[in-house]
Amino acid sequence: MLNTEALINHWLSVSLGGLIERFERGLERLFGMDGRRDYVDLSVEALLRTDLASQAEALAKMVQGGVMKPDEARKHIGEGPADGGDQLLVQRQMVPLAIAADLANAELEKLTAPPPPPPRRRFHRRTVTAATAAPPCRHRHHPSPTPPRAKKPRGNSRSNLSRGRKHDTRA
C-alpha cells in the first residue's frame, strides 16, 4: 500500500514536473532568453515540503558535507538563524572549516614532534641525627637493627621435653 507522501512525490515528478519544465521554456521564449546563458528556473521546493523525512535527510547530508551552512538549511524549513550557523561545517564532530585546518596542523605537529625528555628526579639529602632517627621497628615483617631475642618455652618443661625440645635455661 502506498502512502500519501509517496503518491504526491510521484505526481510531482511525473505529471507536474513536465508541466513546470514546459512553462519555464515558454517564459524563456517570451522574454527572448537563449536558455544557456539566461534561463528561467522555477523553484519547486515549496511543493516538495510534503516529504519531511526526505527533506530533513537531504538537508542534514548537505550540512554535514559542507555544501550548505546550517542557517541556510534552517531557512529552507522556515526557521531563523542559530548561533554559529553561518559557517560551513565538515565531519570530525562537525567543526567549522576554518578550525578543521588548524586542528589537522596541530595533530600533525604533535605526531612529528620529538618526545619530551623524562622529568628530572631530585633527591634531597636528609641529615639524620640521634634526635631525628626513627626508633627501630618491632614488627616481624621489618628487619630489626638488633638481633632477635631467644624465645622462652611455653608451658611446663615436661610438655616441651616430651615433644623432643630441650629446655632453654638461658632465660
- Give the model confidence (pLDDT) of 62-95 as tens digits: 998 888 999 999 988 888 999 888 888 777 666 7
Mean pLDDT of the chain: 75
- Tell me which of 124 and 9 has the higher pLDDT: 9
Q: Which of 96, 89, 61, 94 is nearest to 76 (CA)?
A: 61
CA torsion angle for 118, 119, 120, 125 (degrees, to 10)?
A: -130
Identify the pLDDT of residue 71. Answer: 94
Confidence of residue 30 (pLDDT cuts 50, 70, 90): very high
Identify the pLDDT of residue 26. Answer: 93
Other Cβ atoms closer than 10 A to 132 = 8
Q: Is the pLDDT of residue 117 over 70?
A: yes
Identify the pLDDT of residue 111. Answer: 85
Confidence of residue 145 (pLDDT cuts 50, 70, 90): low
pTM for the whole thing?
0.38
**Cα–Cα distance, 64 to 79 (Å, whole number):** 18
Q: Which residue has the cell 521546493?
A: 45
Residues 6+ apart with CB under 8 A from 48: 9, 12, 55
Confidence of residue 18 (pLDDT cuts 50, 70, 90): confident
Residues 6+ apart with CB under 8 A from 167: 153, 157, 160, 161
Q: Which residue has the cell 626508633?
A: 135
Other Cβ atoms closer than 10 A to 9 = 16
- Tell me which of 145 and 7 has the higher pLDDT: 7
Confidence of residue 23 (pLDDT cuts 50, 70, 90): very high
The three-point CA angle 164-169-171 to 5° equals 120
Identify the pLDDT of residue 102. Answer: 82
Q: Alpha carbon of 5 to those of 8, 34, 47, 156: distances in Å?
A: 5, 36, 11, 104
Identify the pLDDT of residue 27. Answer: 92
